[in-house]
Amino acid sequence: MASPSALAPNRPLPRAQRQEVILRGAARAFARAGYAATSMEDIAAASGITKLIVYRHFDSKEELYRAVLQRVFDRVCEEFLTGYARGPKGGLGTRTLLTIARDDPAGFQLLWRHAAREPQFAEYASALRGQAVWASRELLAARVSPSVHEWAAQTVLGYLVEAVLNWLELGDPERDDEFVELATKGLHAAIGAWHAAP
């Protein structure tokens, strides 16, 4: 990914592009130090801009944190549904989640790992997760036994997210294709077993 200075040349950026720079910088700052210990100055520094410019786009640190979470979640929903709906050829969402995580690792970790531990955002993070579980529930409806449907919907989301987070931390980017294949095979095996559940 380009550095903040490469994304923020001397001439002013269009508003949407400037917000993208701020959201990525904020994600890195929040993921590094946590919500309470991160100041708007830290976010400005991570974004390669001044605090004044941050405040021109976001009224408060809380609004900015929520915007980071929502931005990543919106992309996850879009990509997860697209990939998962393709079934086996789509990797059941594994590749698309990994693509998002590689593109914005701090934002991905913030959404799925850190936000639930922040008192101000635990409920919000839980609501976002609930929406993702709803999508998993819908997509698994015809693929698993009704007796394990709810458990399977929760498990599929948890498996995919944790698999990607752990690969992001421990895996070699050069082996991403291998990871997608292994994770998808594991998920297929599980869904096959769940389909035959009594």
Which domains are assigned to the chain? 4-59 (1.10.10.60), 70-195 (1.10.357)
Q: What pLDDT does residue 36 have?
A: 94
pLDDT of residue 16: 85
The pLDDT, as a whole number, for residue 1 is: 47
DSSP 2: -
pLDDT of residue 176: 96
So what's the pLDDT on residue 86? Answer: 62
pTM: 0.82
Residue 119 three-state SS: coil
- Alpha carbons within 13 angstroms on the beta-carbon side of residue 69 total 26
Give me the tens of pLDDT residue by residue for the chain, a chain 198 residues long. 444 444 444 567 788 899 999 999 999 999 999 999 999 999 999 999 999 999 999 999 999 999 999 999 888 877 766 665 665 455 557 888 899 999 999 999 999 999 999 999 999 999 989 988 888 888 888 888 899 999 999 999 999 999 999 999 999 999 999 999 999 899 889 888 888 766
pLDDT at 103 (0 to 100): 93
* Burial class (CB within 10 angstroms; exposed 0-12, middle 13-18, buried 19+) of 88: exposed
Burial letters for 64-83: b for 16+ Cβ neighbours within 10 Å, e otherwise? bbbbbbebbbebbeebbbeb
